[in-house]
Amino acid sequence: MNDLMTQIEQNKKEIESSVVTNKEELEAFRIKYLGTKGIVKAIMGEMKNVPVEQKKDAGQLLNEFKIFTEAAFENFSNAVESKADQIDFNMDLSLPGQPINIGARHPISIVHNKIISIFQRLGFSVAEGPEIEDDWHNFTALNLPENHPARDMQDTFYISQNPDWLLRTHTSSAQIRAMEKGELPLRIICPGRVYRNETISARAHCFFNQVEGLYIAENVSFADLKQTLYFFVKEMFGENVKVRFRPSYFPFTEPSAEMDISCLICGGEGCSVCKRTGWVEILGCGMVHPSVLDNCGIDSKKYTGFAFGMGIERITMLTYQVKDLRLFSENDVRFLKQFTSAI
Ligand code: PHE
């Protein structure tokens, strides 16, 4: 028993005079005193040599010693931790800092936001609709009844459980939903993702983004349509860009047109991007067909309107001179980080 007491006293003194200044010394302390082969365990092992009548006192002593050692370890550990938080003035301040990766907006988002802000300045507001649509809103209400050959212009993903549902092929469906609400005059743009069953290539994808616009009021004319789109083109691509309209066909507009701008790459001289024509097509447009207005419960004798639709990928490719539209959905950071908000 006396022997045990002396051992404990000696070790206590040693612990009190221990110096622990770093993690290595802290670990050495732990192993020496509290490890499986450490002093506390070793002294405990000697309990078996203590005569029975002294076992109680010896146990108490040992327990105190264990608590004392653990508390010492805890103190050293706290001291080492708080030291680690302090600034090390011996470090080399000329070393480069940790690199910070600053994220960047996706080029499609940048162009999407710019298109929206241009039309908002003309008084258009944003209207949205679902990506899974029914046949009525995507086709039938737009003057594209079942079996109409023009449905072939937009190869469609139908949903097998219910052929009345499909992935919308354009955001014109959101325009139908807005017209059905019947609040006139109506001046909206409908941005969003659309889906077509296309073979994926540098110029086509099975999903892409659109912005479609719609203006319905009394006495809206084709001149209003042209003026709105002229303004858009100048704001989007600059003052020097030329614009031309070509007659076209869409079941939901009459008359219909496609709008081209002078090629941004060659300035109209002719190059591979514009297929040597000097022009690139950027959108479809026209006066809303009276049947579409009637389908939505709008009096086509009183109201007229224009509509247009463009692919954001196409505008982005022209803006940044990107040659392959697959880059937009591959999520390769080396590509994505090249774009800043300024265009
Ligand atoms: N909805 C047409 C498309 O996706 C674009 C368009 C919209 C054309 C409005 C004319 C008027 O191809």
**pLDDT given at position 36:** 92
Residue-by-residue pLDDT tens, the chain, 343 positions: 678 889 899 999 999 999 888 899 999 999 999 999 999 999 988 888 888 888 898 889 999 999 999 999 999 999 888 877 776 677 788 888 888 877 889 999 999 999 999 999 999 999 999 999 999 999 999 999 999 998 988 999 999 999 899 999 999 999 999 999 999 999 999 999 999 999 999 889 999 999 999 999 999 999 999 999 999 999 999 999 999 999 999 999 999 999 999 998 888 899 888 899 999 999 999 999 999 999 999 999 999 999 999 999 999 999 998 989 999 999 999 999 899 765 5
> Which three-class secondary structure state does DSSP give residue 37?
coil
72 in Cβ contact with 18 (< 8 Å): yes
**pLDDT given at position 90:** 77
132 in Cβ contact with 167 (< 8 Å): yes
209 in Cβ contact with 215 (< 8 Å): no
324 in Cβ contact with 291 (< 8 Å): no
Residues sharing a CB contact under 8 Å with residue 181, sequence separation 6 or more, in sequence order: none
Residue 170: DSSP 8-state: S
Residues 81 and 112 in one domain: no
**pLDDT given at position 342:** 52
**pLDDT given at position 3:** 81
Residues 208 and 323 in one domain: yes
Helices and strands, number each (H, E), in the chain: 11, 9
253-262 vs 279-288, strand pairing mode = antiparallel
In a domain, 25, yes or no: yes
How remote is the CA of residue 39 from the centroid of ligand 1, in Å?
Answer: 84
| CATH number for the domain that contains residue 280 | 3.30.930.10
The token duo for 164 is 């009345």
How remote is the CA of residue 204 from the centroid of ligand 1, in Å?
Answer: 16
7 in Cβ contact with 62 (< 8 Å): no
pTM of the model as a whole: 0.72
In a domain, 90, yes or no: no
Per the listing, tokens 């325009």 go with 175
How remote is the CA of residue 252 from the centroid of ligand 1, in Å?
Answer: 8
Residues 302 and 259 in one domain: yes
Residues sharing a CB contact under 8 Å with residue 340, sequence separation 6 or more, in sequence order: 104
How remote is the CA of residue 194 from the centroid of ligand 1, in Å?
Answer: 12
Other Cβ atoms within 10 Å of 40 Cβ, number: 19
User: 2-16 vs 55-85: helix axis angle to the nearest 10?
Assistant: 10
Nearest C-alpha neighbor of 217 from the set 208, 228, 209: 228
In a domain, 94, yes or no: no
The token duo for 285 is 């447009």
**pLDDT given at position 99:** 86
Pocket test for ligand 1, best of 188, 212, 315 (most atoms within 8 A of CB): 212
**Residue 142: alpha-carbon gap to chain centroid:** 32
The token duo for 303 is 């109201």
116 in Cβ contact with 315 (< 8 Å): no
Pocket test for ligand 1, best of 250, 283, 285, 312 (most atoms within 8 A of CB): 250
Residues 33 and 148 in one domain: no
In a domain, 162, yes or no: yes
Q: Which atom of ligand 1 is nearest to the CA of 213?
A: 9
Residues 184 and 260 in one domain: yes
Q: Could you list the residue range(s) of the whole structural domain that residue 311 is in?
A: 107-342
Q: How far apart are CA 251 and CA 243, in angstroms?
A: 24
**pLDDT given at position 193:** 98
125-126 vs 186-195, strand pairing mode = parallel
**pLDDT given at position 309:** 98
* Amino acid at the residue 99: P
Residues 120 and 80 in one domain: no
Q: Tell me the CA end-to-end span of the chain in Å, nearest whole number.
A: 87
> Which three-class secondary structure state does DSSP give residue 165?
strand
**pLDDT given at position 120:** 98
